[in-house]
Each structure stands twice: as C-alpha cells, then as structure tokens.
C-alpha cells in the first residue's frame, strides 16, 4: 500500500522544521503560499536571536507581508507543521489568511481545536478555513525526537 504523498507546501514546511532542529530550535516549519507561488518559508527561531514571538508562523507571516507590501495577506494560505498556539492563531487572523493547513494537532499548546479556540470566538474578525492531519506522523515524530534528545 502506498501512502498518499504529502502536498508540496507541507513537505516544504517539514523541511524547514528539520533545519530548525539542526540549529537547536524546536522543529516547527511554516510556509505561506499564494496559489502555487511560495511567498515565504520559515522555521521556529526563538533562541538565536532570542525572540519569544519567533514561532515559524509569525516569522513567515511577517516575511510574506514585507514581500507583498501589505499587512493583509488576502488570498494567501498558511501551511504549518503543528497546530498554532494562541499567539499564532491571532496573527493568522490579523493577516487574513484564507486557509490554514496544519500537520499535527497540539493538545498541550494549540489554540485552534484546543484551549483558547481563537477562531471560534465571537470577537474573531477573520477566521481561515482550517484543514489538518496531512504530514502529522512526520511532524510529530520530529518533535518527539527533538525533545527525547534533550531530556
């Protein structure tokens, strides 16, 4: 039996996650796409330089806004290897991302299908369509291996 191949944007996000792990950063990657065009690729980077907001999603959204010359990324999609936290879900809403794809759910820190459920709040001015699961095994195993090595 063959597994359905991981779509190219999520494969790129997983590649970015791998580069984060190589640098001692938590292996999470994110990609902003506009149709078939890659707009920005980023990996978590909270340690060097020290930045409590340096999640892959935040870095990718900032780079995409700079590249496109607009704080609103209307029509863009975000692919990320882990369910976004409250900070990142809020940023995704501010950026008007059309579709959010994430690989692995995160019961401990996620704020999409867990906890703060940012997009489900009445106050949320823009909620993306949300899809999850594609690439979940790869994303989860990378995180498990990273934290296993550091215990």
Instruction: Spell out the SS3 assignment of the chain.
Output: CCCCCCCHHHHHHHHHHHHHHHCCCCCCEEEEEECCEEEEEEECCCCCCCCCCCCHHHHHHHHHHHHHCCCCCCCCEEEEEECCCHHHHHHHHHCCCCEEEEEECCCCCCCCCCCCCHHHCCCCCCCCEEEECCCHHHHHHHHHHHHHHHC
Our finding on whether 74 is near a copy of itself (CB under 8 A) is no
Quick check: 105 binds a copy of itself (CB under 8 A)? no
Q: Name the residue nearer to a copy of itself (CB basis): 14 or 92.
A: 92
Instruction: For the CB of residue 104, give the shortest distance to a copy of itself in the complex, in Å.
Output: 15
> Contact between 66 and a copy of itself (CB under 8 A)?
yes
Closest approach, Cβ 53 to a copy of itself, in A, equals 5
State yes or no: is 57 an active-site residue. yes
The residue from 69, 148, 149, 151 that contacts a copy of itself (CB under 8 A) is 69
Q: Give contact residues for a copy of itself (rule: CB under 8 A).
A: 46-47, 49-54, 58, 61-62, 65-66, 68-73, 85-91, 93-96, 107-111, 114-118, 121-125
């Amino acid at each position: 039996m063959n597994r359905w191949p991981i779509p190219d944007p999520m494969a790129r996000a997983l590649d970015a996650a791998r580069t984060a792990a190589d640098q001692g950063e938590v292996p999470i990657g994110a990609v902003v796409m506009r149709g078939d065009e890659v707009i920005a690729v980023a990996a978590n980077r909270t340690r060097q330089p020290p930045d409590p907001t340096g999640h892959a999603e935040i870095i990718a959204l900032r780079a995409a806004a700079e590249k496109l010359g607009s704080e609103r990324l209307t029509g863009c999609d975000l692919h990320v290897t882990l369910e976004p936290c409250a900070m990142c879900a809020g940023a995704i809403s501010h950026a008007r991302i059309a579709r959010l794809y994430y690989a692995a759910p995160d019961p401990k820190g996620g704020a999409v299908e867990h906890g703060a459920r940012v997009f489900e709040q009445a106050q949320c001015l823009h909620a993306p369509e949300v899809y999850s699961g594609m690439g979940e095994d790869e994303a989860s195993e990378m995180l498990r291996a990273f934290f296993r090595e550091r215990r």
